Structure 1
Amino acid sequence: MIRCKRVYEAATAADGQRVLVDRLWPRGCRKESLALADWAKDAAPSPELRKQFCHEVELFDEFRLLYRAELAAHPAHWLGLLERARNGDLTLLFAARDEVHNNAVVLAEFLEEELERCGPPSSPVCYAGEF
């Protein structure tokens, strides 16, 4: 399961692996207090896209399209996150105040779709050795 959570909320056991997905380090947070498994800043939107969006809700649909295009063009930036999600719970941490309109939500949607698309193999040959 992939969850999104503000970086300022306390860590819980249900979080699984916690990965910060912002390009900039969140204000007022010390690294040792976040219980991070990783900081995937390359999976965050490009600096240009982040500045263009500037957390304006009315620009979120356009931001979503452009960010998804960036993700599709750079699978190396998110493949590690996909592997973590396959192996257990993953919580994407973000610093934005808006819990609905932010990059972590878009990234979680993208990763969930990739998990579905790349689901378990379906051809009989792929099942060899599984029984």
Structure 2
Amino acid sequence: MGAFDALTIAGSGLNLHQTWLDALSYNIANVNTVVPTSQTAFQAHMIIAQSDPNGGVQVGGIALSDPAGMIVNDPDNPLADAQGNVRAPAVDMSSQMSELIMAQRGFQASAQVTKFAQDTYSTAIGIGK
């Protein structure tokens, strides 16, 4: 490991958690998005994390939820079919909020490691002066 690997690894954690936060905010913003039953529902984005061979973590991909969603009876909705149904996303708001807390805490932890590493490196550089 090199002298600045802590910054690289913590930076990769920041990057992953920021992508996760972005995906969760997109999912939460679209939790009530309905479409006609003839269309596919909003598909929630789920981040796939994987280890980076050089240390740290990286986004391995994005998985999408079921496009079938769920059929909801809402006869007053202008998008409703003849039976009064619309297609809604199969997104559970409570699980999205739980993941949001985990992603936020992971981001905060990576930011703290970055700050600690920067302080440590600054102190080490100051010793040589």
TM-score normalised by length of structure 1: 0.28
Q: Which has the larger radius of gyration?
A: 2
Query: Which fold has the larger relative contact order, with Cα–Cα distance below 8 Å and residues 6 or more apart in sequence?
Result: 1
Q: Which has the higher strand share?
A: 2
TM-score normalised by length of structure 2: 0.28
